[in-house]
A and B are shown apart, each in its own frame.
Chain A
Amino acid sequence: MRLLNDKRGQMRVIEAFFASMLLLSVLTLIPSQNNVKNASDQNLTSTAQHVLLTLDNNGYLSKLIENGSWTQITKCLQAALPPTMWFNLTVLNETNAEMNDIPMSSGNPINEEIFSFDYLCVNQGPSYAIYLIRLQLAVVS
Protein backbone atom coordinates (compact mmCIF):
# COMPACT_ATOMS: atom_id res chain seq x y z
CA MET A 1 0.00 0.00 0.00
CA ARG A 2 2.87 2.32 0.91
CA LEU A 3 4.61 1.53 -2.30
CA LEU A 4 1.57 2.51 -4.30
CA ASN A 5 1.25 5.78 -2.45
CA ASP A 6 4.96 6.69 -2.82
CA LYS A 7 4.85 8.48 -6.19
CA ARG A 8 7.86 10.80 -5.74
CA GLY A 9 10.13 8.84 -8.12
CA GLN A 10 7.55 8.33 -10.83
CA MET A 11 7.55 11.87 -12.09
CA ARG A 12 11.31 11.81 -12.46
CA VAL A 13 11.09 8.56 -14.35
CA ILE A 14 8.55 10.07 -16.72
CA GLU A 15 10.77 13.14 -17.16
CA ALA A 16 13.75 10.94 -17.95
CA PHE A 17 11.65 8.97 -20.41
CA PHE A 18 10.60 12.14 -22.21
CA ALA A 19 14.18 13.40 -22.23
CA SER A 20 15.29 10.10 -23.79
CA MET A 21 12.54 10.32 -26.40
CA LEU A 22 13.59 13.87 -27.22
CA LEU A 23 17.22 12.84 -27.65
CA LEU A 24 16.30 9.87 -29.84
CA SER A 25 14.01 11.96 -32.02
CA VAL A 26 16.83 14.48 -32.55
CA LEU A 27 19.04 11.58 -33.49
CA THR A 28 16.70 10.53 -36.29
CA LEU A 29 17.47 13.83 -38.01
CA ILE A 30 21.20 13.08 -38.19
CA PRO A 31 21.06 10.41 -40.94
CA SER A 32 19.12 12.73 -43.24
CA GLN A 33 21.82 15.41 -42.81
CA ASN A 34 24.43 12.75 -43.42
CA ASN A 35 22.69 11.71 -46.66
CA VAL A 36 22.81 15.30 -47.88
CA LYS A 37 26.57 15.38 -47.21
CA ASN A 38 27.05 12.01 -48.97
CA ALA A 39 25.15 13.24 -52.00
CA SER A 40 27.32 16.36 -52.07
CA ASP A 41 30.52 14.30 -51.82
CA GLN A 42 29.31 11.98 -54.57
CA ASN A 43 28.62 14.98 -56.79
CA LEU A 44 32.11 16.36 -56.14
CA THR A 45 33.67 12.93 -56.81
CA SER A 46 32.01 12.68 -60.20
CA THR A 47 32.86 16.32 -61.02
CA ALA A 48 36.54 15.84 -60.15
CA GLN A 49 36.73 12.53 -61.98
CA HIS A 50 34.95 13.84 -65.07
CA VAL A 51 37.17 16.94 -65.32
CA LEU A 52 40.43 15.02 -64.91
CA LEU A 53 39.45 12.16 -67.24
CA THR A 54 38.41 14.65 -69.93
CA LEU A 55 41.68 16.58 -69.64
CA ASP A 56 43.71 13.38 -69.62
CA ASN A 57 41.84 11.56 -72.39
CA ASN A 58 44.29 12.29 -75.20
CA GLY A 59 47.30 12.68 -72.98
CA TYR A 60 46.83 16.45 -72.86
CA LEU A 61 47.12 16.73 -69.08
CA SER A 62 50.35 14.73 -68.89
CA LYS A 63 51.88 16.87 -71.66
CA LEU A 64 51.05 20.03 -69.71
CA ILE A 65 52.63 18.53 -66.59
CA GLU A 66 55.71 17.42 -68.52
CA ASN A 67 56.15 20.95 -69.88
CA GLY A 68 55.51 22.53 -66.46
CA SER A 69 52.59 24.53 -67.88
CA TRP A 70 51.01 25.14 -64.47
CA THR A 71 49.28 28.34 -65.53
CA GLN A 72 47.71 26.53 -68.48
CA ILE A 73 46.44 23.76 -66.20
CA THR A 74 44.90 26.37 -63.88
CA LYS A 75 43.14 27.98 -66.86
CA CYS A 76 41.83 24.59 -68.02
CA LEU A 77 40.37 23.89 -64.58
CA GLN A 78 38.85 27.34 -64.36
CA ALA A 79 37.13 26.72 -67.70
CA ALA A 80 36.00 23.21 -66.80
CA LEU A 81 34.68 23.83 -63.27
CA PRO A 82 31.69 25.98 -62.29
CA PRO A 83 32.63 29.49 -61.10
CA THR A 84 31.02 28.77 -57.72
CA MET A 85 33.50 25.98 -57.07
CA TRP A 86 36.86 26.49 -55.41
CA PHE A 87 39.72 24.24 -56.49
CA ASN A 88 43.33 23.54 -55.65
CA LEU A 89 45.45 21.15 -57.70
CA THR A 90 48.70 19.56 -56.60
CA VAL A 91 50.90 17.39 -58.81
CA LEU A 92 53.14 14.82 -57.11
CA ASN A 93 55.71 12.58 -58.70
CA GLU A 94 56.24 8.89 -57.90
CA THR A 95 58.24 9.76 -54.78
CA ASN A 96 55.39 11.97 -53.53
CA ALA A 97 57.41 15.14 -54.10
CA GLU A 98 55.40 18.18 -55.14
CA MET A 99 56.13 19.16 -58.74
CA ASN A 100 54.22 22.39 -59.26
CA ASP A 101 56.31 25.31 -58.06
CA ILE A 102 53.36 27.69 -58.19
CA PRO A 103 49.94 27.10 -56.59
CA MET A 104 47.21 26.04 -58.98
CA SER A 105 44.06 27.24 -57.27
CA SER A 106 41.19 29.67 -57.66
CA GLY A 107 42.07 31.71 -54.56
CA ASN A 108 41.25 31.10 -50.94
CA PRO A 109 38.87 28.31 -49.96
CA ILE A 110 35.28 29.48 -49.61
CA ASN A 111 34.10 26.59 -47.51
CA GLU A 112 35.60 24.74 -44.56
CA GLU A 113 34.49 21.42 -46.03
CA ILE A 114 37.13 20.64 -48.63
CA PHE A 115 36.78 17.50 -50.70
CA SER A 116 39.92 15.79 -52.00
CA PHE A 117 40.22 13.49 -55.04
CA ASP A 118 43.38 11.60 -56.05
CA TYR A 119 44.01 10.73 -59.68
CA LEU A 120 46.78 8.77 -61.40
CA CYS A 121 47.94 10.45 -64.58
CA VAL A 122 50.14 8.48 -66.96
CA ASN A 123 52.37 10.05 -69.56
CA GLN A 124 51.72 8.72 -73.09
CA GLY A 125 55.18 9.64 -74.37
CA PRO A 126 58.09 7.22 -74.84
CA SER A 127 59.61 8.24 -71.50
CA TYR A 128 57.16 6.68 -69.05
CA ALA A 129 56.10 8.72 -66.04
CA ILE A 130 53.27 8.51 -63.51
CA TYR A 131 51.95 11.58 -61.71
CA LEU A 132 49.63 11.64 -58.71
CA ILE A 133 47.20 14.52 -59.06
CA ARG A 134 45.36 15.72 -55.96
CA LEU A 135 42.34 17.86 -56.80
CA GLN A 136 40.69 19.60 -53.86
CA LEU A 137 37.22 21.04 -54.36
CA ALA A 138 34.81 23.10 -52.27
CA VAL A 139 31.50 24.69 -53.09
CA VAL A 140 29.92 27.90 -51.82
CA SER A 141 27.98 26.99 -48.66
Chain B
Amino acid sequence: MKLRHRSKGKSGQALIVTSLIITLLLLSAVYYVIETEKSLVNNQRLIDSNFPVAKLGTRNTMISALANASNHGATAVLTEDLNRFSSILRNMSYGAEFDLSFAPSNSAPYQEGMWISWGKDGSGVSSAYVSFSINTSGPMENYHSEYEMNITTALHVEGVSTGEGEEKTVNFTCAVYDENGPALANEINIFYQNQTDGSWLSVSSSNDLAVLDFGNGTYSISFHAYSQQPVEVSAQIHDMRYIFVMANVTCTQI
Protein backbone atom coordinates (compact mmCIF):
# COMPACT_ATOMS: atom_id res chain seq x y z
CA MET B 1 0.00 0.00 0.00
CA LYS B 2 2.87 2.29 0.88
CA LEU B 3 4.61 1.48 -2.41
CA ARG B 4 1.48 2.29 -4.36
CA HIS B 5 1.09 5.61 -2.55
CA ARG B 6 4.72 6.60 -3.32
CA SER B 7 4.42 5.80 -7.03
CA LYS B 8 1.27 7.92 -7.21
CA GLY B 9 3.10 10.82 -5.58
CA LYS B 10 5.69 10.86 -8.42
CA SER B 11 3.14 11.44 -11.18
CA GLY B 12 3.63 15.21 -10.86
CA GLN B 13 7.42 14.91 -11.15
CA ALA B 14 7.17 13.09 -14.44
CA LEU B 15 4.95 15.84 -15.79
CA ILE B 16 7.41 18.50 -14.62
CA VAL B 17 10.34 16.76 -16.27
CA THR B 18 8.32 16.29 -19.47
CA SER B 19 7.27 19.94 -19.56
CA LEU B 20 10.89 21.05 -18.98
CA ILE B 21 12.12 18.85 -21.80
CA ILE B 22 9.43 20.22 -24.11
CA THR B 23 10.36 23.77 -23.09
CA LEU B 24 14.04 23.11 -23.80
CA LEU B 25 13.16 21.63 -27.19
CA LEU B 26 11.07 24.69 -28.00
CA LEU B 27 13.84 27.00 -26.86
CA SER B 28 16.51 25.27 -28.92
CA ALA B 29 14.24 25.24 -32.01
CA VAL B 30 13.50 28.97 -31.72
CA TYR B 31 17.18 29.76 -31.12
CA TYR B 32 18.19 27.71 -34.16
CA VAL B 33 15.64 29.52 -36.35
CA ILE B 34 16.86 32.94 -35.14
CA GLU B 35 20.52 32.12 -35.71
CA THR B 36 19.87 30.65 -39.17
CA GLU B 37 17.79 33.65 -40.18
CA LYS B 38 20.50 36.02 -38.93
CA SER B 39 23.18 34.18 -40.89
CA LEU B 40 21.07 34.17 -44.06
CA VAL B 41 20.31 37.89 -43.79
CA ASN B 42 24.00 38.70 -43.23
CA ASN B 43 25.09 36.57 -46.20
CA GLN B 44 22.41 38.02 -48.45
CA ARG B 45 23.43 41.55 -47.51
CA LEU B 46 27.07 40.83 -48.33
CA ILE B 47 26.05 39.32 -51.67
CA ASP B 48 23.85 42.34 -52.46
CA SER B 49 26.78 44.63 -51.69
CA ASN B 50 28.86 42.72 -54.25
CA PHE B 51 26.83 44.07 -57.19
CA PRO B 52 28.12 47.66 -57.25
CA VAL B 53 31.61 46.36 -56.42
CA ALA B 54 31.43 43.96 -59.37
CA LYS B 55 30.22 46.69 -61.73
CA LEU B 56 32.94 49.12 -60.75
CA GLY B 57 35.51 46.31 -60.87
CA THR B 58 34.54 45.37 -64.44
CA ARG B 59 34.71 49.03 -65.46
CA ASN B 60 38.17 49.50 -63.96
CA THR B 61 39.32 46.23 -65.52
CA MET B 62 38.22 47.44 -68.96
CA ILE B 63 39.97 50.79 -68.46
CA SER B 64 43.16 48.98 -67.47
CA ALA B 65 42.95 46.64 -70.48
CA LEU B 66 42.29 49.52 -72.90
CA ALA B 67 45.15 51.53 -71.41
CA ASN B 68 47.37 48.49 -71.88
CA ALA B 69 46.23 47.67 -75.43
CA SER B 70 46.40 51.28 -76.64
CA ASN B 71 49.96 51.59 -75.31
CA HIS B 72 51.45 48.83 -77.51
CA GLY B 73 49.73 45.98 -75.62
CA ALA B 74 47.78 43.03 -77.00
CA THR B 75 43.99 43.17 -77.35
CA ALA B 76 43.73 39.72 -75.73
CA VAL B 77 44.58 41.36 -72.41
CA LEU B 78 40.90 42.34 -72.05
CA THR B 79 39.71 38.73 -71.86
CA GLU B 80 42.64 37.69 -69.64
CA ASP B 81 42.01 40.47 -67.11
CA LEU B 82 38.25 39.93 -67.02
CA ASN B 83 38.78 36.20 -66.42
CA ARG B 84 41.13 37.03 -63.56
CA PHE B 85 38.65 39.44 -62.00
CA SER B 86 35.74 37.03 -62.39
CA SER B 87 37.69 34.25 -60.73
CA ILE B 88 38.66 36.34 -57.70
CA LEU B 89 35.12 37.69 -57.36
CA ARG B 90 33.74 34.14 -57.34
CA ASN B 91 36.12 33.16 -54.55
CA MET B 92 34.88 35.88 -52.22
CA SER B 93 31.17 35.23 -52.71
CA TYR B 94 30.28 34.41 -49.09
CA GLY B 95 28.99 30.89 -49.70
CA ALA B 96 26.79 31.82 -52.63
CA GLU B 97 27.12 31.16 -56.33
CA PHE B 98 28.31 34.46 -57.78
CA ASP B 99 28.96 33.99 -61.46
CA LEU B 100 30.20 36.86 -63.61
CA SER B 101 30.25 36.01 -67.29
CA PHE B 102 31.17 38.34 -70.11
CA ALA B 103 31.14 38.54 -73.90
CA PRO B 104 33.53 40.98 -75.61
CA SER B 105 31.77 42.57 -78.57
CA ASN B 106 32.60 41.25 -82.02
CA SER B 107 30.14 43.48 -83.83
CA ALA B 108 31.91 45.77 -86.32
CA PRO B 109 33.96 47.83 -85.73
CA TYR B 110 34.83 45.89 -82.53
CA GLN B 111 37.00 42.80 -82.50
CA GLU B 112 37.51 40.84 -79.28
CA GLY B 113 35.84 43.75 -77.52
CA MET B 114 38.35 46.32 -78.77
CA TRP B 115 38.21 49.01 -81.45
CA ILE B 116 41.41 50.91 -81.99
CA SER B 117 41.33 53.20 -85.00
CA TRP B 118 43.85 55.97 -85.37
CA GLY B 119 42.95 57.47 -88.71
CA LYS B 120 44.46 60.04 -91.06
CA ASP B 121 41.21 61.96 -91.36
CA GLY B 122 41.64 63.81 -88.08
CA SER B 123 39.79 61.26 -85.94
CA GLY B 124 41.13 58.61 -83.61
CA VAL B 125 39.30 56.18 -81.33
CA SER B 126 40.41 53.74 -78.64
CA SER B 127 37.42 51.85 -77.34
CA ALA B 128 36.37 48.67 -75.54
CA TYR B 129 32.87 47.18 -75.42
CA VAL B 130 31.80 44.17 -73.34
CA SER B 131 28.45 42.67 -72.32
CA PHE B 132 28.25 41.28 -68.78
CA SER B 133 25.91 38.91 -67.04
CA ILE B 134 25.79 38.28 -63.30
CA ASN B 135 24.00 35.26 -61.84
CA THR B 136 23.74 34.87 -58.10
CA SER B 137 22.19 32.03 -56.16
CA GLY B 138 21.96 33.49 -52.68
CA PRO B 139 20.63 31.82 -49.51
CA MET B 140 17.44 33.87 -49.68
CA GLU B 141 17.13 35.17 -53.23
CA ASN B 142 18.50 34.57 -56.72
CA TYR B 143 19.52 37.38 -59.01
CA HIS B 144 20.20 37.78 -62.68
CA SER B 145 21.56 41.02 -64.02
CA GLU B 146 22.79 42.00 -67.47
CA TYR B 147 24.60 45.15 -68.42
CA GLU B 148 26.91 46.50 -71.08
CA MET B 149 30.02 48.56 -70.52
CA ASN B 150 31.67 50.89 -72.98
CA ILE B 151 35.00 52.62 -72.39
CA THR B 152 36.06 55.05 -75.08
CA THR B 153 38.63 57.76 -75.62
CA ALA B 154 38.29 59.66 -78.88
CA LEU B 155 40.23 62.50 -80.44
CA HIS B 156 39.20 64.88 -83.19
CA VAL B 157 41.80 67.17 -84.77
CA GLU B 158 41.41 69.84 -87.44
CA GLY B 159 43.64 72.69 -88.46
CA VAL B 160 45.18 74.96 -91.10
CA SER B 161 48.60 76.33 -91.92
CA THR B 162 49.68 79.82 -92.96
CA GLY B 163 52.95 81.31 -94.12
CA GLU B 164 55.21 81.73 -97.12
CA GLY B 165 57.72 79.22 -98.49
CA GLU B 166 58.71 76.41 -96.19
CA GLU B 167 58.18 78.36 -92.97
CA LYS B 168 54.66 77.69 -91.84
CA THR B 169 52.54 78.51 -88.84
CA VAL B 170 50.20 75.66 -88.02
CA ASN B 171 47.00 76.31 -86.04
CA PHE B 172 44.79 73.44 -85.07
CA THR B 173 42.36 72.30 -82.39
CA CYS B 174 42.24 69.00 -80.51
CA ALA B 175 38.94 67.85 -79.00
CA VAL B 176 39.13 64.95 -76.56
CA TYR B 177 36.12 62.82 -75.62
CA ASP B 178 35.41 59.85 -73.43
CA GLU B 179 32.27 57.67 -73.31
CA ASN B 180 30.42 60.39 -71.38
CA GLY B 181 31.36 63.43 -73.48
CA PRO B 182 34.24 65.92 -73.49
CA ALA B 183 37.22 64.80 -71.40
CA LEU B 184 40.56 66.20 -70.33
CA ALA B 185 43.91 65.12 -71.72
CA ASN B 186 46.73 64.28 -69.36
CA GLU B 187 49.46 64.62 -71.97
CA ILE B 188 49.56 65.92 -75.56
CA ASN B 189 52.41 65.29 -77.99
CA ILE B 190 52.48 66.90 -81.42
CA PHE B 191 54.46 65.76 -84.47
CA TYR B 192 54.66 67.03 -88.03
CA GLN B 193 55.96 65.25 -91.08
CA ASN B 194 59.16 66.24 -92.80
CA GLN B 195 58.21 66.29 -96.46
CA THR B 196 61.77 65.52 -97.60
CA ASP B 197 62.28 62.13 -96.00
CA GLY B 198 58.81 61.48 -94.57
CA SER B 199 60.04 61.27 -90.98
CA TRP B 200 57.96 62.63 -88.11
CA LEU B 201 59.47 65.50 -86.12
CA SER B 202 58.47 66.20 -82.55
CA VAL B 203 57.11 69.68 -81.89
CA SER B 204 58.72 71.35 -78.91
CA SER B 205 59.26 74.79 -77.45
CA SER B 206 61.86 75.41 -80.20
CA ASN B 207 58.90 75.42 -82.60
CA ASP B 208 57.18 78.18 -80.55
CA LEU B 209 54.64 75.64 -79.41
CA ALA B 210 51.65 77.26 -77.72
CA VAL B 211 48.79 75.27 -76.18
CA LEU B 212 45.62 76.96 -75.02
CA ASP B 213 43.54 74.74 -72.73
CA PHE B 214 39.85 75.69 -72.70
CA GLY B 215 39.26 73.37 -69.73
CA ASN B 216 36.49 71.46 -71.49
CA GLY B 217 38.53 68.93 -73.45
CA THR B 218 39.29 71.35 -76.29
CA TYR B 219 42.84 72.52 -76.88
CA SER B 220 43.94 75.18 -79.35
CA ILE B 221 47.52 74.54 -80.50
CA SER B 222 49.89 76.51 -82.72
CA PHE B 223 53.54 76.03 -83.72
CA HIS B 224 56.05 76.92 -86.42
CA ALA B 225 57.18 74.26 -88.87
CA TYR B 226 59.54 74.06 -91.80
CA SER B 227 57.59 72.07 -94.30
CA GLN B 228 56.27 72.11 -97.79
CA GLN B 229 52.54 72.22 -98.39
CA PRO B 230 50.39 70.69 -97.00
CA VAL B 231 51.60 70.12 -93.41
CA GLU B 232 50.84 66.68 -92.04
CA VAL B 233 50.27 66.87 -88.29
CA SER B 234 49.91 64.05 -85.78
CA ALA B 235 48.38 64.61 -82.33
CA GLN B 236 48.99 61.92 -79.74
CA ILE B 237 47.34 62.09 -76.34
CA HIS B 238 46.96 60.18 -73.10
CA ASP B 239 43.74 60.92 -71.28
CA MET B 240 43.45 61.07 -67.48
CA ARG B 241 43.07 57.24 -67.41
CA TYR B 242 46.29 56.76 -69.41
CA ILE B 243 44.37 55.55 -72.48
CA PHE B 244 46.28 56.47 -75.62
CA VAL B 245 44.74 57.79 -78.82
CA MET B 246 46.19 59.56 -81.83
CA ALA B 247 44.94 61.21 -85.00
CA ASN B 248 46.64 62.58 -88.08
CA VAL B 249 45.38 65.52 -90.06
CA THR B 250 46.43 67.42 -93.15
CA CYS B 251 46.62 71.13 -92.44
CA THR B 252 46.03 72.84 -95.75
CA GLN B 253 47.32 76.35 -96.36
CA ILE B 254 44.88 79.24 -96.27
Contacts and interface: CB of A to CB of B under 8 A. Distances in A.
B68 interface: yes
Contacts of B60: 56, 59, 62, 122-124
B241 to A, nearest CB: 6
B76 interface: no
A17 to B, nearest CB: 7
A124 B63 contact: yes
9 contacts: A20-B23, A24-B27, A27-B27, A41-B45, A45-B46, A49-B52, A120-B92, A123-B60, A125-B64
B234 to A, nearest CB: 21
Interface of B: 8-9, 11-13, 15-16, 19-20, 22-23, 26-27, 30-31, 34, 38, 41-42, 45-46, 49, 52-54, 56-57, 60-61, 63-65, 67-68, 71, 73, 77, 81, 84-85, 88-89, 92, 241-242
Interface of A: 2-3, 6, 8-13, 15-17, 19-20, 23-24, 27, 30-31, 34, 37-38, 41-42, 45-46, 49, 53, 56-57, 59, 62, 94, 117-120, 122-128, 130, 132
Given A56-B56, A59-B241, A128-B84, A38 B41 contact: yes
B73 A120 contact: no
Contacts of B34: 30-31, 34
Given A24-B26, A34-B34, A118-B92, A124 B64 contact: yes
User: Taking chain A's interface residues, is the majority helix, strand, or loop, or is none over half, making it mixed?
Assistant: helix
Contacts of B56: 53, 56-57, 122
